[in-house]
Amino acid sequence: MPQQAYLSLGSNLGDPVANLHACIGRLSTLGEVKQVSSFYSTEPMELREQSWFINCVVELETELAAEHLLAGIQDIEAALGRVREISKGPRTIDIDILFFGSFVIQEGSLRIPHPAMHERRFVLAPLAEIAPQLKHPILQKTAAELLSQLGTAGGIVKRLAPR
């Protein structure tokens, strides 16, 4: 049975916009890309001494189980040159699973919904753009409500022209 997965994509190395476009193209090997948010320029959050990121959120309809989706995402990251040298450091591409249907999953390194998404404007702004009424299965608030609750917290996010 197909599931709607919401993925956060980010890049701040090389040509971040081209990296996101390449990633979105490769996601079609894992399912059907249903929606893509605008691209956003976002300040780095935890490791602040690096270039700003370009981020977006993608809705993907997939037949894959969550753990197979994660494996496919990691393959795409590797194919696009992702190297994990510095935690929260610069990267050609980063793909996080935000939601997988309404499932709550905590198995190994797989945590769905993403445990920090409600604190990150760079996730919530593009998510609320394409799925404002999507409800967090644990917090029981919509993407729009979570974004509104951030107030001025959660980092600087600037919407770029629609992709």
Second CATH level (architecture) for the domain 3-159:
2-Layer Sandwich (3.30)
Beta bridge pairs of residue 96: 8
Is residue 96 part of the annotated active site? The answer reads yes
List the chain domain ranges.
3-159
Catalytic residue among 15, 48, 75, 82: 82
**How far apart are the C-alpha atoms of 110 and 120, rounded to whole Å?**
19
Query: Does residue 91 surpass a pLDDT of 90?
Result: no
Closest CA to 94 of 65, 41, 133, 56: 56
Q: Is 15 among the residues known to form the active site?
A: no
Using CA atoms, how far apart are residues 92 and 97, in angstroms rounded to an integer? 17
Q: Is 75 a catalytic residue?
A: no
Of the residues 15, 75, 96, 120, only one is catalytic, namely 96
What is the predicted pLDDT for the residue at 152? 78
pLDDT tens for residues 25-68? Answer: 999 999 999 999 999 999 887 766 789 999 999 999 999 999 99
Task: Examine the residue annotation and report whether 48 is marked as an active-site residue of this protein.
Answer: no
The one catalytic residue in 94, 120, 121, 159 is: 94
pTM equals: 0.94
Structure confidence by residue, pLDDT tens digits, 124-153: 999 999 999 999 999 999 999 999 999 777
